[in-house]
Amino acid sequence: MNLLLEWTSAVFLLTGGFLCITGGVGLLRMPDFFSRVHAAGVTETLAAPLLLCGLMLRMEWSLEIVKVLMILVFILATNPTATQAMAKATLTGGQRPLVADPEAREGGPSSKS
Amino acid sequence: MLIAVAAIRMRDLFGVVILFGVYSLLTAVLFMDLDAVDVAFTEAAVGAGVTTVLLLSSLRLTRRWEAPPRHSPLLSLLVVGVTGAALVYATLDAPLLGDPSSPVHKHVAPRYLQEAAGEVGMPNIVTAVLASYRGYDTFGETLVIFTAGLAVLLLLGFGEETKPRIEPASMHEQVVLKTVVKLIIPLILLYALYVQFHGDFGAGGGFQAGVIFATGFILYEMVFGAENARGVMPAPLLPRLAALGVLLYGGVGIFSMLAGKPFLDYSALSADPVHGQHLGVLLVELGVGITVFSIVLSIFYALSGRKRRHD
């Protein structure tokens, strides 16, 4: 049982770490603001809870686990909101996403939240 | 240190502010590594949290790009280099960090560690030292925060009365942000209260709690606009709250004096001295929390109340 917990926690931690690294790579290498924000937001919103789950599996049953769980829920709630707010602010500021075929872009759906 | 060098060399002040936030976060991690949880908590809350927001809101009052320097930095570099070398030379004489045979660890620290449970009766020795053994210094800190807030208010004032300024139309359509923030703000305020009153047992205390409480209100003003925020927490109330916090702290001290004990000796507050210490620490931390909250929020009100500089 303990071995199972240890291996699961190790898998979670490694996956979370890998996702963080790929998020960082995406942040640096993507050509456009919107794709960068998307890369960082999606990968980090998954990576942080995975890392926290990996840590939770290593802790004994105590109040600390509930606290870490609360942090996890908080990150799940706020990270996508922050990403959306950033993207929306940029869109309002006038930047448009980089697309492959600019002619087909005009007349797209109006920006609703 | 890399981040510090980068922050100095950058011209883009927005990037500099973000780098300062990262620097504070790394310092908080460093403090955690040194097992100083309360300090790390305060550093993360203040440095990586509120200071970034306050610097950004002051950045909108000035230019984003730093003007190129008009004089050569060589003389300043020389002075800083000489001073830094002298300081490093002085630290060579200091005992190593954590050395158990240094004077700090042989007289003062063991006494606090052993006697705190009996004399003050709370598990968190950092709070015991901060609020009880060194309560006078903490009173000074609170007064410093109060004075800093007064200085900002004297220089900037609270800004014009709130007619909706150039309210960007997009804020009305921010349904996602408004919904999530409406859910999160009560939790932030509740967490701030938890940190305030839990400082006896875990990491926490007045400073962190005041900052987090102010963060809730800052978030409210950022998303829902200055009009709503100042309707909830009116600007003239804040200096009075700050004064109330300092008065609470000093009042506890004066009460102890009137009961015949030295200034800020909490054992005069109750028949049982340990209970008196508990009560004293509670009241004093509450005073600190109220002052920190109102000053941080005042500074934010002062900065956000100015018209944006049109460049």
**Domain annotation covers residue B227:** yes
Judge whether A41 lies within some domain: yes
Quote the domain boundaries for residue B215: 127-311
User: Domain check: are B176 and B42 in the same one?
Assistant: no
Put simply, whether A78 touches B (Cβ < 8 Å) is yes
Q: Is A113 on the interface with B (CB under 8 A)?
A: yes
- d(CA A25, nearest CA chain B) in Å: 18
Number of compact structural domains in chain A: 1
Total domain count, chain B: 2
In a domain, A112, yes or no: no
Shortest Cα–Cα distance, A92 to chain B (Å): 7
Among chain A residues, the shortest Cα distance to B223 is held by A85
Q: Which of B51, B66, B81 is the last residue of a domain?
A: B66
Same structural domain, B266 and B170? yes
Mutation for A interface: B22, B172, B175, B177, most A CBs within 10 A: B177
Question: Does A38 fall in a domain?
Answer: yes
Interchain CB distance below 8 Å, B174 and A78: no
Question: Which residues does chain B have within 8 Å of residue A77's beta carbon, measured at their own beta carbons?
Answer: 180, 183-184
Contact B209, B192 (CB under 8 A): yes
- The model's pTM: 0.83
Q: Is the ipTM of this complex over 0.95?
A: no
The domain of A62 spans 2-91
Q: Which residue of B has its CA nearest to A81?
A: B177
Within a domain: residue B136? yes
pLDDT tens digits, A50-101: 999 999 988 888 888 888 999 999 999 899 999 988 888 888 877 777 777 7
Q: pLDDT (tens digit, 0 to 9) for every residue of chain B, 311 residues total? A: 788 878 777 778 888 888 889 999 999 999 988 888 888 999 998 988 899 999 888 887 777 777 777 777 788 888 989 999 999 888 887 777 667 777 777 777 777 777 777 777 778 878 878 888 888 888 999 999 999 988 988 888 776 555 555 555 455 677 888 889 999 999 999 999 999 988 878 778 888 999 999 999 999 988 888 888 888 888 888 889 999 999 999 888 888 888 877 888 777 777 777 788 888 888 888 999 999 999 999 999 888 877 665 44
